[in-house]
């Protein structure tokens, strides 16, 4: 069976913000159409990144599918503002929920706004914590680093989480996509894909180098 083409989602966290338009044009010219926005609140994770103004500015290019990764507490409060700023898919963290009911209500609310819905889990969180949500989401984001910073090493336990998610997807005839985020390069991306990943987020592997074309090709091996 032919391998499905992998989707590569550059993580803006590693972009050169003084030359962001050039960076986005380069990505667009090389066929990238999925962009990953790492939103951090300094509370859910020990870092603050960026938010609505950046998404609004990037949205003006209309080049990309805007994949917003909310590494924040109380994600519900910011769903509508990010939707209005141009988010197409919003991913929240299961660890930011206080109950399964809250998670299901949040997903229903996101659906009512016409959003694609993603849920993410930190390295220490078990896949089983996501079971109630798998039939309800479009995407599961497996963190292969502790969220908060780009440029970290890929944590290899993510491979088994990816494989387990693929197992549940097949067993229960579900259709969520599996996205992997953190420490992705040609090698870790290859094994993540072999275990079932559909979408690879990459920040430091793509931004800040002069061989972007080769790096993108190396992720779609
Ligand atoms: C980490 C972010 C990741 C990170 C990826 O909290 O969610 O998207 O920016 O960066 P690299 O690819 O450099 O690990
Ligand atoms: Zn991310």
Please name the residue whose Cα sits nearest to atom 6 of ligand 1: 147
* pLDDT over threshold 60, residue 11: yes
Domains of the chain (ranges; CATH) run 7-218 (3.20.20.70)
* Band of residue 145 on the pLDDT scale cut at 50, 70, 90: very high
**pLDDT tens track for 169-202:** 999 999 999 999 999 999 999 999 999 999 999 9
Q: Give Dmax (Cα) for the chain.
A: 47
Angle at 176 between CA 201 and CA 185, to 5 degrees: 20
Residue where the block lists tokens 């979408």: 199
Q: For residue 202, which atom of ligand 1 is closest to its CA?
A: 12
Overall size of the chain counted in residues: 221
The pLDDT of residue 62: 85
What mean pLDDT value characterizes the chain?
97
Query: Span 136-162, mean pLDDT?
Result: 97
Q: Please, are residues 119 and 96 in contact by the beta-carbon 8 Å criterion? A: no
Q: Which class for 114: exposed (0-12), middle (13-18), buried (19 or more C-beta within 10 A)?
A: exposed
- Closest Cα partner for 197 from 155, 171, 164, 154? 164
**What's the 202 CA to ligand 2 centre distance in angstroms?**
9
Cβ(207) to ligand 1 under 6 A?
no
Ligand with minimal distance to 40 CA: 1
* Band of residue 4 on the pLDDT scale cut at 50, 70, 90: confident
Mutate to test the pocket of ligand 1, among 145, 153, 183, 192 (most ligand atoms within 8 A of CB): 145
**Among the ranges given (30-39, 140-149, 212-221), the one the predictor scored with the smallest mean pLDDT:** 212-221
Residue where the block lists tokens 């503002």: 81
Distance (Å, rounded) from C-alpha 178 to C-alpha 139? 6
Distance (Å, rounded) from C-alpha 192 to C-alpha 178? 10
* pLDDT over threshold 60, residue 1: no
- The reported pTM is 0.97
Residues designated catalytic: 38, 181
**pLDDT tens track for 87-122:** 999 999 999 999 999 999 999 999 999 999 999 999
Ligand with minimal distance to 67 CA: 2
Distance (Å, rounded) from C-alpha 100 to C-alpha 64? 32
């Amino acid at each position: 069976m032919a391998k499905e083409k992998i989707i590569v989602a550059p993580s803006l966290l590693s972009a050169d913000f003084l030359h962001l338009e050039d960076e986005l044009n380069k990505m667009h010219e090389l066929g990238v159409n999925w962009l990953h926005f790492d939103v951090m609140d300094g509370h859910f994770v020990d870092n603050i990144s960026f938010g609505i103004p950046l998404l609004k500015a990037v949205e003006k290019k209309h080049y990309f599918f805007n994949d917003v990764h909310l590494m924040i507490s109380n994600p519900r409060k910011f769903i509508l503002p990010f939707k209005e700023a141009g988010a197409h898919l919003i991913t929240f963290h299961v660890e930011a929920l206080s109950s399964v009911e809250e998670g299901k209500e949040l997903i229903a609310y996101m659906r009512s706004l016409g959003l694609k819905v993603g849920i993410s889990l930190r390295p220490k969180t078990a896949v089983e914590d996501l079971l109630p949500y798998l039939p309800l989401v479009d995407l599961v984001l497996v963190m292969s680093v502790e969220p908060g910073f780009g440029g970290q090493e890929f944590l290899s336990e993510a491979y088994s989480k990816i494989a387990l998610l693929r197992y549940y997807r097949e067993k229960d005839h579900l259709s969520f996509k599996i996205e992997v985020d953190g420490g992705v390069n040609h090698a870790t991306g290859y094994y993540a894909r072999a275990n079932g990943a559909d979408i690879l987020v990459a920040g430091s592997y793509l931004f800040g180098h002069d061989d972007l074309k080769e790096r993108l090709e190396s992720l779609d091996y």
